Structures are given as C-alpha cells and as structure tokens.
Structure 1
Amino acid sequence: MADRLSARAAIAVVTDDFTELPYPERTSAPDGPLGWPGYDAARARAAERTGERESVICGTAVVEGTRAVVVAFEFGFLGGSLGERTGDRLEAAYVHARAHRLPVVPLVATGGSRMQEGMLALTQLQRVARESALTRQAGLPQIAVVRDPTTGGGWATLGAGADVVLALPDAQVGFAGSRVRPADADPAAYTARAQVAAGAADALVRPEDLRETLGRWLRLLTRPATAPAPPPHALGAAGPPAAGWDAVRRARAPERPRAAAYLDAYFTDRVTLSGDRCGGTDPDGMLCGFGEHEGRTVAYAAQTGTATRPAGYRTAARLVRLADRLGIPVLTLVDTPGAANDAEAERQGVGAAIADLFGAVAAARTPVTTLVVGEGGSGGALALAAPGNTWVTPDSYFSVIAPELAAAILKRPPDAVRTTADQLRVRPQDLVALGVVRGVVGPAGAGAPPG
C-alpha cells in the first residue's frame, strides 16, 4: 500500500465489509464560519477531485476477523485537514464505538487544522482528545496507523494519542509540517523511523504486512480475562543451589535462558509494544508487548539480563497501565543486575521512572504474575515484581543488593563475598522460606505451581 493512497483505498487494503456511518449534518455560512473568501470553492474542488464531502471517512469494518470502527483521512481533501465538520464525523465515530463496544482504528494522513476555519478548527483537537479519553475510560483499544504525511494536531491527537501506533516506513510523521519547521531542520527527524526510534511510535509496518499486523493487534487487545497468567515453566537448571554464591553464579551464567527464550516458549503469538512516549526506548533491556498463551491474551514486560534504562521502566509502566485498562492479565519476567546507574540514567530520571513502575504495578486491578528468571538486583528488579504473586526459577536469585556491593559497603575483604551472599539469603529456597516469593517453578512436565 503506498503511503499516499486515498482514504477508501487505504480502508480496502486493511479491512473487509466496510459500512460507512451516517454523518451529522451541519449548515454553515457562505465561505465557512470566518467568511474566508474562496473557501466554498476550495471545498467544491476538493470534493470533485476526491469524490468525498469531507477530509475523513468513518465506518465499521472487519479487520482479520475483528470488527472495529475505522476512521480514514483523505489527504486529497484540503490536505486531510480538520475542521468543524471533520470534528462532527470523528465525534460520531467515537460515540458509535463506545455504544457498540468496538475498538477504534484511525488511518491518519493529515496536515493539521484547517486555516479557513481559524480557531474553530483548532478547537476540534480538544473535541477529538475528549472522545479519545472517553473511549480509553470505556476500556476500548485505539490502534492508529500513521500514513504519509501525518503532522500537526492530527498527529498530536489521533496518532500519537492512540494506545498503539503503527507507522508506514516511508511516512513523514511529526508535529511540524514541512512548510513550518525551521529551514535548517534535519528532515530525518520528521519521519516514521525517527518516531519509532524516539519511542513515540511502536513499530514500522510494511504496507503488505499491515492488514495481518493490525489484525493481530486487534485480536489480542480485545480479549479481556480475569484469571492471572500462570508463571512459565523453568527452562534452565532444575535443582536448587547449595549456597548463596552458587545461586548468584547460576543467575549470571552466560548460557542461562534469557527473556526471549521464555517468551518464545510461553506464547504462540506475540506483538511488541515499544517506547516510553517520552523520547526513549530500551530494546536491549526491556521487552514489552501482548501475546497469546493457551488461547487467551497476556501482556508481558520482561527484563533481559542487562541494567534497565529509565525508558525501559517507563515502557513497562505504560504496558501495565494499558493492560489494566483493557482487563488483560500481565506477566513480568525479572532479570537485571539492577537499574542503570550512570550519569545519563540520572539525567533521564531513573528514580522517577522506577517510582512510576512501582505505582503502576501497585495500582493495577488486573492480575499481575511475576517470574524471576535470573538476577533480581535490588529495587530495579523489585519494581517489576507482583506483590504476593512472584515466583522464582531454580537458577535465579533476588537480593536487596549485589553480594559484592554489600561486602564493600560493610568494609569486608573480597574473600568475604561468598559468606555475605549466604547471609543475604538470596537462594530461591531462602526466598520461599522468607515469604518473599510464592514458590520455585519447575521444568515443563513437572506440574504446574500451586494456584
């Protein structure tokens, strides 16, 4: 699908059985609310050129088996700009979505608000934002597809404001359109690729893959459940470690199974949520998304064994809040030596990011299940752990601080690290005895852990 397809062509690429919704009728003064000379003539030319009466088309459709409300922008109609009539159509579409419990899929291609309607056009952004907020409160997902171009208020509401943002690879995406940005601005910063790299969009999707990808997202996000996700089976060592330092060495072993292996074994299908919506990503430290486990949807946030960056914690908090709003259980995998503690992490607000994740997990109404699959290093690991429903594998440990650092703080010699590890009681069986975790999971075939 080319990025500049018409609205109806874009709808046809990703949906079946599209039925247009009835639109509210609005009468306006000649040349619009501002009496802008030539405005009526410009609209007439746009209508003749595109066959549309407005810059957005709204209706219901089926996307790979899931019915949704689809709103598609027609860039050929005055640059896909938003005016009062556009706002009428968008509001009606969101109201219909809530009334019929349907997800919303904006296919966005817009240059922003319509100058010929002045501030009355700009205030449509507030109107759209309210409808989007009401739809979020209703527990309905919004998955945006940003086409070429997506700029201005359309990007700042329907695009970037969606729960999930999928972007066509060659699309121009940014708040500032090409005619209003600084002359010396780097054009690469205003692209879909740049928005994904900055954590403002979740993924680049090739046109030929868009229907399938959108269908997977819709299927996974529209299946709420009330039962907690069961913890995965252990993939590594089966027996308990003999001593505290043995537990630490096992968890740090390069050959130990990591998050990707656990996710692949647990889910039959999964999609990735990426970015903290604050300018950052942590693809090497935190994996987030939604997957299918035994026929139902489970959200996941998984540390990968590295020091977690602030953007990783913020992405995980975003994941937990979205799953909570949609009524989807959450699985978290703990595996980090601790939070990143370099100067850049401090500048990026690592403490606030950890606090935000603690708050998201604590406030979640949907059940959260945690499995410690490797290192559980201090508060940077605990922030991802579910109070009262955390499990451990035989090749993991959890500690208030790394044994080496504890020995250093206590001014003990290096050869006292092993003894310190024992005193910290970091072994899986110690954690069970202390009541910190519910139990130690076994390998597949060993039976499920108790409920």
Structure 2
Amino acid sequence: MRDGGAREVIAEVTTDFDEFTVDSRAHGDGPLDWDGYAQARARAEERSGETESVVCGKGRIGGVDAVLIAFDFRFLGGSVGTATGDRIEHAFSRARETRTPLVSLIATGGSRMQEGMLSLRQLQRVARHSTLLRQAGVPQISVLRDPTTGGLWASLGAGADVVIGVAGAQVGFAGRRVRPPTDADDPAYTAEGQFTHGHVDEVCEPWDLTDVIAEWLTLLDSGSADPADVPRALGSPTPSTDGWSAVHRARAATRPHAEAYLDDYFDLRRPITGDRTGGVDPGMLCGIGLRGRRAIAYAAQAGTPTTPAGFRTAARLIRLAEHLAIPVLTLVDTPGAANDAAAERAGVGPAIADLFGTVAAARIPITTLVIGEGGSGGALALAAPDRTWITPDAYFSVIAPELSAAILKRPPEQVPATAEQLRLRPEDLVELGVVRGIASP
C-alpha cells in the first residue's frame, strides 16, 4: 500500500510540531498554462486536505528538535513544483539558520509535469540547499517512504547524510510507468534492493521508524572535538614470544573480532552501509555509536580481505564524520586488500588511494586500534598516521610472512624465520615507532 498522508506520518514520529507558514501556492493553470492543472490541484486539495505536496515545520523526535519536510502522496503523487520548492527551500534555510537537524519524510513520484522544466529545476535548488546545510555542519536524514522515485530520490533522498528505507517501499530513479516492462517488478526498485547494493544505510519496519530516527538524531547531534578513547584489549593480555606465534594468534578464530570490540565500546550504535556506487563489503563495519554521551564514528575491518567497496565506505564514513565534527575510531583487522580480478576491475588501487587521502586530509581526530591481522596497505589505509595502538594478540606487517618468503624465493620452512625478520610483533612495532603503544585489558 502506498504511503499517502504527510500529517499522519508527522503525527507518528514527532511531538510539538509547529508548521512553517510559507506564502507559496500555484495559481491558475500554472507557469505553462497547462489546461486542467488548476482543476487537478483543486481535486488534490480536496483529497489530501493540503495546499501543496509537502508540509514543513519543526518538531521533536525522541527529545531532539528537528526540521521536517513531509510529503503527501495524495497531492498529485507527491510531485514537486515551484511552490513545493519554495517550501523545501524555506525548511532548509530554517534548519541552517537555527542549526537544527533536518529530516525528510519522502513519498513522491518525482517532478510535476504540468510545470515542465521549472519543476525539474527544483532538483538543483534542493541540491544547492542540501550542500549549504552540509557545509554548515548540520545533519540531514532522509526517510524513503512508499514510493520514492524520480528526481527527489536522486536529490533530497540519496543526498542526505543518513538514508533510511521503509521496508517494502518502492525506491528508484525510474518509476513503475517508465521502466522497461521486463524490469517492472525487479527487486532493484525497492528499499531492500537499494540497501543490498549500498545506496541505503538501513531498512526499518514502519513501526520502528520513530525510534530509528530518534536514535540517529541523538547520534548525529552529540559530536565533540576530543579524540576517541582507545578501546581496551579483549583478548590475551600477554604478547607473543616470537613473530610467527604473533601471526598465528592474530589469525585464531577464537580471538575477539570487530563486533565484540564495538559491542564492548559503545552503548548504542547504528550502521552506515555501502559505498553509494553499488558496492557493499560486509567485512567493513561502519557507523556512528554513542559512548557515554558523545558520538564517535567507527570503521572496523572484520577479519576478511577488504574490497574496493569497503575502502570507499570507510572513506565516506570519515568524510561524514568530518563535516559533523565527530571523532573517528578505526579497528584494523584484515589479511590485506582483496587481490582477485574482481577487486582489480572494481578499482581496488584507486579506492585505497582515496582512503589514504581522506585519512590524511581529515581535520577531525582519528584513533586506530589494530585488533588482529594488519596486512600490508589494505590495513595501513585505515590506520591513523599518529594515533595508532595495537592489542597483544595482533600484528602489523608490510606483507604476510608467507608472501614475503615467496617473493624472496625462500622455502616454506623459512616462513617462521621470515616472520621474525619482519619485526611485526606489538613490542617491535612500539620500538620502531609504528604504533604508540599496546592496549591494556
């Protein structure tokens, strides 16, 4: 069933809602003198009880103030015309001026044909104000209701800091009537499909929406300039006696991995998923969490080879944290970057380069803890140059000992000795100045 009412969804997610008054309403048959447009708007007003396809105002969600833009699909399919753009611009301006997070509750079929290119140009208007809001460091959340299609998905929806899809919602640039017939029911045009391919951060059930938005507002509005604390070591408290033992301990299945560290470190956390270019790496866990009363963004490798999508997602997370002034925690645990042909075709080299550059340019503090394998450039790309620690059951190396021996044309029995020569143990790394110290339990 399609989502229709703006005021109904506002009532579900907010308290103390105060609607903005904006003198913007189309007149007659509109700027193109489209025959019958005035009558169509009159029917839409009668059906919806609204004078435009959006209702904008300020309310409280879970105790946090937010500026809201809520679409009413019953008003000409939630389409956007020039008067709609006036209301959206006013809402963005109020959010920026008052530094209040903005939440868009979208249900739209796209641009309003009866206003032609003047309607389509509202997308540029939305994009401009979304950029201004980001430059001001004010958070923006979009909620994709049913349906979210056309240019509003490609601007207001996908352009937000955090994108939440409502389960079962139709989401796509192409609406049902303009898709190829063979693709009409393809799951790519759903919130779940967009999530699978890295374009939506999470999908929630309608009855969970208020709590999900409230948690995100709390997380996005709780940043501070102080660096993230170094997590405590959860594994063995004593370092290995030699390099080869250090490698074996880091590779042990029983050693605590990223999920255990994140659960121990945060009181609350929510995920940032996907690289926004069609890729998701389940081995790169990204999001924002609450530790005490302060928000900390995190990017954590989960022990698998990191794919290009994983590196790009981590870079996206760091850039998001930077414009919201939230410190970052990274957890390093990978045997290295994915080295198969698929990774090369997907641009693993450029993806790593982008992450190196993002970390180097970051103006917010990044704290790193190596919790397992620190394999070559795929691990180093996620590490802070001057704020990296390591746990006793981890290692950090220019290359895996087996690969080093192969390159040096050494027999397999010399791998342990090669590991020792690489000086990859925690104590070696402290002595070399690669890490600041060894995390304590």
TM-score, normalised by the number of residues in structure 2 = 0.98
The structure 2 residue matched to 1:148, chosen from 146, 149, 157, is 146
Contact kept? 1:391, 1:439, Cα under 8 Å:
yes
Secondary structure at the counterpart of residue 52 of structure 2: coil
Q: Which string of whole-angstrom CA distances, capped at 9 and with x for unpartnered residues, describes residues 160-184 of structure 1?
A: 1111111111100000000001111
Identity across matched positions, percent = 64
Q: CA deviation at 1:360?
A: 1.2
Tell me the equivalent position of 1:434. 432
Q: How does 1:343-354 map to 2 (within 5 A)?
A: 343-354=341-352
1:189 and 1:26 map into 2 onto residues whose CA distance is 35
The answer as to 2:197 corresponding to 1:198 is yes
SS in 2 for 1:179: helix
Indicate conservation of the 8 Å contact 1:14/1:63, yes or no.
Answer: yes
Distance 1:3 1:61, change over 3 A: farther
Does the aligned pair in 2 maintain the 1:3–1:170 contact within 8 Å?
no
Q: Could you say which residue in structure 1 is the equivalent of 2:302?
A: 304
Match of 2:72 in 1: 74
* Equivalent residues in 2 for 1:39-438, closer than 5 Å: 39-187=37-185, 188-283=187-282, 285-438=283-436
Q: Distance in 2 between matches of 1:37 and 1:252?
A: 71
Deviations 1:206-257 (A, max 9, x none): 1111101100000000112011001100000111211111111110111100
What SS does structure 1 have at the residue aligned with 2:182? coil
- Is contact 2:26–2:83 with CA below 8 Å preserved after alignment? no
AA partner of residue 243 (structure 1): D
Partner-residue secondary structure (3-state), 1:289 = strand
The amino acid of 1:232's aligned partner reads P
- Tell me if structure 2 keeps the 8 A contact 1:3–1:168: no
Which digits, 9 at most, give the CA deviation of each residue in 1:321-350, with x for residues without a partner? 000110000000000000111111111111
* Deviation per residue, 1:90-109 (Å, 9 max, x gap): 00000000110001100000
- Secondary structure of the residue aligned to 1:105 is strand
Q: 2 CA distance for matches of 1:255 and 1:262?
A: 14
C-alpha contact 2:246 2:395 (8 A) present in aligned 1: yes
Tell me how far 1:294 sits from its aligned partner.
2.3
What is the rounded CA distance, in whole Å, between the counterparts of 1:185 and 1:290 in structure 2?
35
Q: Mind listing any 5+ residue stretches in structure 1 that lack a counterpart?
A: 444-451
Q: Which residue of 2 aligns with 1:14?
A: 13
For 2:228 and 2:2, how far apart are their aligned partners in 1? 39
Deviation per CA, 1:119-146, whole angstroms, max 9, x where unpaired? 0000000000000000000001111110
- In the TM superposition, residue 26 of structure 1 has moved relative to its aligned partner by 5.6
> How far has the Cα of 1:25 moved from its partner?
3.5
Deviation, structure 1 residue 295: 1.9
What is the CA–CA distance in structure 2 between the aligned matches of 1:240 and 1:287, rounded to whole Å? Answer: 26
User: Structure 2 vs 1, CA of residues 48 and 27 (structure 1 numbering), >3 Å: closer, same or farther?
Assistant: closer
**Rounded Cα–Cα distance in structure 1 between residues aligned with 2:2 and 2:364:** 38
Instruction: Give deviations 1:53-98, integer Å, cap 9, x for gaps.
Output: 0001100010001101000001000000010000000000000001
Q: 1:3 and 1:300, CA in 2 relative to 1: closer, same or farther beyond 3 A? A: farther
8 Å CA contact 2:24–2:87 kept in 1: the answer is no
The residue that corresponds to 1:449 in the other structure is: none
Unaligned runs of 5+ in 2: none
**Are the aligned partners of 2:167 and 2:192 in contact in 1 as well (CA < 8 Å)?**
yes
How far off its partner does 1:363 sit?
Answer: 1.0
One-letter amino acid matched to 1:339: A
- Residue 3 of structure 1 and its aligned partner are, at CA, apart by 5.1
Post-superposition CA distance 1:290-321 (Å, at most 9, x none) = 11112211110000001011111111111000
Judge conservation of contact 1:393–1:428 (CA < 8 Å) in 2: yes
Task: State the Cα distance separating 1:186 from its structure 2 match.
Answer: 5.0
Q: Distance in 2 between matches of 1:359 and 1:221?
A: 24
Root mean square deviation of aligned Cα: 1.0
Amino acid at match of 1:316: A
Distance 1:27 1:143, change over 3 A: closer
CA contact (8 A) 2:359 2:384 kept: yes
Question: 3-state SS of the aligned residue for 2:8?
Answer: helix
Say whether the 8 Å CA contact 1:24–1:92 is kept in structure 2. no
Tell me how far apart the structure 2 counterparts of residues 369 and 12 of structure 1 sit (CA, whole Å).
Answer: 41
CA contact (8 A) 1:332 1:385 kept: yes
SS at match of 1:167: strand
Residues 192 and 203, structure 2, Cα contact 8 Å, conserved in 1: yes
Structure 1 runs, 4 residues or longer, greater than 2 Å off: 24-28
- 2:178 match: secondary structure: coil
Q: Could you tell me which amino acid in structure 1 is paired with residue 131 of structure 2?
A: A
User: Counterpart in 2 of 1:447?
Assistant: none
Distance 1:242 1:189 in 2: 52
**Aligned partners of 1:189, 1:396: CA distance in 2, in Å?**
40
- Pair 19,42 (structure 1): closer, same or farther in 2 beyond 3 Å: same
The question of 1:37 aligning with 2:35 is answered: yes
